[in-house]
C-alpha cells in the first residue's frame, strides 16, 4: 500500500510516456509528474534543534522546509504522506568519507595503474601532496555507495579525496542529483592531513618523524608565502617576486574560506599530539579518529577542539594468527573504544560520527548503537549524526535539523532510529523523495550464479540499446551490483534476488531530473538470460550474455 495520498495532481503527458526509453528519447517527469511539494502529516517529528513533536506536520516545497509544527496549513498542491506510526528525523550526515568522490588518478603519469611514484629527496619535492584537489570537482555519480548510504538514511556527507599526506579538500555533498554540481552544498569545508609516511626505503619521508617534519614544513611555507605575497603586492618594485607554489596557494585559499584542518588522532598519544600540532600550525583544527577519547576527554575539552569519531570499532583481525596473544592494553581498547563518545559528551566536547573503515552503510547505525550501549545518550548520538557535523563544517544554517528555511534533507522511519527492527521508509534529499524498499528475499535456492559482467541488449522506440550489468550474487540469492547505460549513466541495484532460474532487480536512474525506478525481471540458464525491463508502466524485452562465454552453458 502506498504511503502517499494525492491532494492535487497535475496532468500526465501520455504521449511523452509512450516514447520513453532508456536512451532518453522520452522526456517525462518521474512517477507521472511528481511535484516538488510534499507534506508529511501526523508523524512524530524529531527536529534535533528542539524537543520532539507528536502528531506534527513537515511541509517541503522546492527543496526547502517551509513549515514545521502541530498546526500547519498544508498547501493545496502538496502530495500528502500520512505519517501515523512514522518518525521524521533530519537527514543523517557522514562526517568524513570518500563516498561520491572519484578515485585518485594513477601516479607516475601516462595512466599506468602500477606506475611507481618518483623518488622524493626532500621537502621541496612536495611528496604525496595534492591539496588543490577538491571533492566538489571530482564527484563520481556512478559511485554505488551514494545510493546505499542514502537508503540507510544518510542524505549528506563530508567527502574528500584519499591518498597522500595532503590528499585534497573536503566538500559537503548532498546524496542526490542529476549532475555532479547538484550534489555540492559547500566547498571547501576541510583540509584533511595524514601523517602516514607514503615513501618506503630510500624515499622521503619514510617514517612518522619524517612525515611530521614534512607537514610542519608545508605549513611554515604556506605561512611564509602569505606574508611574502602581501609584502610584494603592497610594493612590488625592486622586490624579488615570491615563487608560485601550487600546494601552498591551495592551502592558503582553503584556509581563507574558513576550512578546518583535519588532524589524525586515534590513540591517546596521537590525540595529544594532534592537539599540540593544531596549536603549533595555528590552524582551526578538528581531530579525526578519537577512539581512545575515553582517556583524554578532559584534555580535549580544555582545548575546545571538536572530534570526529571513527565508527569502525577496533576488533581482532579475522585472518589473524590464532596463536598470537593480544596485550592487555589492546584488549582494553577493543572493549572501551565504543565508550569514547559518552566520555566526550560528559566532558562537553563537540563530536560527530564518521563511517571510517565501514564499507556497508547498513553497518553504520549498529555501530552507533554500540556507543549508546556503552553510555552515550540517544539524543547525543542523533546529534552526532546530524546537527553536530553541520556545525563543525559550517553548514548548520542549511543542514542538520528540521527547521523552516533549511534544505529539505529528511529521513522517515517506522520507529526509533536506533532500534534494530526499525526500517527507513522514505528519504528526502534536496526535497526529492526516495522510497526505500526492502530487498526481496528469494523463496527458493538459486539454480546457478549470476555473478559477473553481462551485456544486455534491448529494443526501444529509438532502436537497439546496449547496457552493461555488473552483478554479484550471494549464496542465498541476494543480488547486488550496477547497471550502466551510455545515455543515462550507472544505477546501483536494490531489491535484487535470484530464485531457482528466475531473477529480479531494480535500479534508479534520473529521468527529467527525477529519480525513476527501472525494474529488470527474467530467467537465466548458464551464461545467458532474457526478460523484460519495466519503467513508468512500459515494458521492453531484453536478452543478455556474458562476453566470451558460450550461451546456455551448464548450470
pLDDT of 511 reads 61
- CATH architecture assigned to 93-398: Alpha-Beta Barrel (3.20)
Instruction: Out of 203-212, 347-356, 472-481, give the one with best mean pLDDT.
Output: 347-356
Q: Which of 318, 266, 272 is nearest to 288 (CA)?
A: 266
Q: Is 391 exposed, middle or buried (0-12, 13-18, 19+ CB in 10 A)?
A: middle
Q: Which of 76-85, 124-133, 156-165, 465-474 has the lowest mean pLDDT?
A: 124-133
So where are the chain's domains?
A: 93-398, 452-545
Query: Is residue 309 a contact partner of residue 341, using CB atoms and an 8 Å limit?
Result: yes
Which stretch of 63-72, 96-105, 486-495 has the lowest confidence by average pLDDT?
A: 486-495
Q: Which residue has the cell 512514522?
A: 86
Q: Which pLDDT score is estimated for 285?
A: 97
Per-residue pLDDT at 8: 40
**CATH top-level class of 452-545:** mainly beta
Sign of CA dihedral 347, 349, 353, 358: negative
**Of the candidate ranges 16-30, 287-301, 480-494, the one whose mean pLDDT is the lowest:** 16-30
In this prediction, residues 168-174 reach a mean pLDDT of 97
Determine the pLDDT at residue 492.
78
Q: How would residue 477 be classed by pLDDT, with cut points 50, 70 and 90?
A: confident
Buried b (16+ CB within 10 A) or exposed e, 236-251: eeeeeebeebebbbbb
pLDDT for res 21: 42
Count of alpha carbons within 13 angstroms of residue 183, beta-carbon side: 29
Question: Contact 44/54 with Cβ under 8 angstroms?
Answer: yes
- Residues 374-391, mean pLDDT to the nearest whole number: 98
pLDDT tens string 328-368: 999 999 999 999 999 999 999 999 999 998 888 889 999 99
Helix (H, G, I), strand (E, B) or coil at 102: coil
What is the C-alpha to C-alpha distance for residues 351 and 48, in angstroms, rounded to an integer?
A: 15
Sign (positive/negative) of CA torsion 125, 128, 133, 139? positive
* Helix axes of 268-281 and 293-303: crossing angle, nearest 10 degrees: 20
| Proportion of the chain above pLDDT 90, given as a percent | 60
Asked if 72 and 57 touch (Cβ cutoff 8 Å), the reply is yes
Which pLDDT does position 110 carry in this prediction? Answer: 35
pLDDT per residue over 500-553, tens digit each?
Answer: 999 999 887 766 545 577 889 999 999 999 999 988 767 889 999 987 655 444
18: cell is 509512450
Mean pLDDT of 160-165: 90
In this predicted model, what pLDDT tens digit does every residue of 90-146 receive, in sequence order? 999 999 999 999 776 544 333 333 445 555 555 567 888 999 999 999 999 888 889
Strands 514-525 vs 528-535: parallel, antiparallel or unpaired: antiparallel
Q: Is the pLDDT of residue 20 over 60?
A: no
The answer to whether residues 97 and 354 touch, using CB atoms and an 8 Å cutoff, is yes
Q: CA 451, CA 474: separation in Å to the nearest integer?
A: 9
Amino acid at each position: 500500500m502506498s504511503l502517499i495520498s494525492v491532494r492535487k495532481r497535475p496532468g500526465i503527458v501520455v504521449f511523452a510516456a509512450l516514447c520513453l526509453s532508456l536512451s532518453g528519447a522520452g522526456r517525462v517527469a518521474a512517477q507521472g509528474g511528481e511535484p516538488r511539494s510534499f507534506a508529511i502529516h501526523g508523524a512524530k517529528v524529531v527536529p534535533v534543534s528542539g524537543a520532539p513533536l507528536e502528531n506534527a506536520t513537515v511541509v517541503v516545497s522546492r527543496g526547502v522546509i517551509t513549515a514545521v509544527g502541530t498546526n500547519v496549513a498544508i498547501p493545496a498542491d502538496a502530495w500528502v504522506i500520512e505519517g501515523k506510526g512514522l518518525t521524521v528525523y533530519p537527514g543523517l550526515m557522514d562526517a568524513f568519507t570518500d563516498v561520491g568522490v572519484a578515485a585518485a588518478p594513477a601516479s607516475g603519469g601516462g595512466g599506468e595503474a602500477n606506475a611507481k611514484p618518483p623518488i622524493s629527496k626532500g621537502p621541496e619535492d612536495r611528496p604525496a601532496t595534492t591539496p588543490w584537489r577538491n571533492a566538489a570537482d571530482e564527484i563520481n555519480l556512478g559511485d554505488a555507495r551514494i545510493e546505499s548510504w542514502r537508503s540507510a538514511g544518510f542524505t549528506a556527507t563530508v567527502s574528500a579525496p584519499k591518498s597522500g599526506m595532503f590528499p585534497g579538500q573536503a566538500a559537503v555533498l548532498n546524496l542526490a542529483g542529476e549532475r555532479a554540481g547538484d550534489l555540492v552544498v559547500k566547498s571547501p569545508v576541510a583540509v584533511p592531513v595524514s601523517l602516514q609516511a607514503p615513501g618506503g626505503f630510500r624515499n622521503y619521508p619514510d617514517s612518522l618523524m619524517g612525515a611530521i617534519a614534512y607537514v610542519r614544513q608545508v605549513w611554515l611555507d604556506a605561512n611564509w608565502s602569505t606574508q611574502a605575497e602581501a609584502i610584494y603586492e603592497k610594493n612590488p618594485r625592486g622586490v624579488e617576486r615570491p615563487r608560485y607554489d601550487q600546494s601552498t596557494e591551495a592551502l592558503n585559499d582553503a584556509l581563507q574560506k574558513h576550512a578546518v584542518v583535519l588532524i589524525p588522532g586515534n590513540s591517546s598519544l596521537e590525540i595529544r599530539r594532534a592537539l599540540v600540532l593544531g596549536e603549533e600550525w595555528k590552524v582551526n583544527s578538528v581531530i579525526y579518529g578519537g577512539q581512545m577519547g575515553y582517556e583524554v576527554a578532559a584534555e580535549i575539552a580544555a582545548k575546545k577542539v571538536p572530534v570526529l569519531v571513527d565508527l569502525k570499532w577496533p576488533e581482532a583481525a579475522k585472518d589473524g594468527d590464532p596463536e598470537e596473544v593480544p596485550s592487555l592494553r589492546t584488549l582494553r581498547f577493543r572493549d572501551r573504544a565504543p565508550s569514547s563518545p559518552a566520555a566526550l559528551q560528559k566532558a562537553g566536547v563537540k563530536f560527530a560520527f564518521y563511517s571510517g573503515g565501514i564499507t556497508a552503510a547498513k553497518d553504520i547505525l549498529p555501530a552507533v548503537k554500540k556507543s549508546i550501549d556503552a553510555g552515550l545518550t540517544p539524543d547525543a548520538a542523533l546529534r552526532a549524526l546530524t546537527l553536530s557535523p553541520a556545525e563543525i563544517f559550517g553548514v548548520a544554517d542549511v543542514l542538520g535539523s528540521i527547521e523552516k528555511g533549511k534544505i529539505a534533507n529528511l529521513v522517515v522511519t517506522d520507529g526509533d532510529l536506533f532500534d534494530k527492527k526499525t526500517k527507513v521508509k522514505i528519504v528526502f534529499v534536496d526535497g526529492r523523495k526516495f522510497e526505500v524498499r526492502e530487498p526481496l528475499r528469494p523463496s527458493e535456492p538459486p539454480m546457478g550464479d549470476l555473478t559477473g559482467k553481462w551485456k544486455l541488449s534491448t529494443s526501444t522506440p529509438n532502436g537497439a540499446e546496449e547496457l552493461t550489468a555488473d552483478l554479484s550474487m550471494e549464496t542465498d540469492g541476494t543480488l547486488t551490483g550496477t547497471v550502466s547505460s551510455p545515455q543515462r549513466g550507472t544505477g546501483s541495484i536494490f531489491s535484487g534476488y535470484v530464485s531457482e532460474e528466475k531473477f529480479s532487480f531494480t535500479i534508479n536512474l534520473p529521468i527529467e531530473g527525477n529519480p525513476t525506478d527501472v525494474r529488470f525481471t527474467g530467467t537465466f540458464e548458464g551464461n545467458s538470460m532474457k526478460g523484460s525491463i519495466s519503467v513508468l508502466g512500459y515494458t521492453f524485452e531484453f536478452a543478455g550474455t556474458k562476453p566470451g562465454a558460450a550461451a546456455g552453458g551448464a548450470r
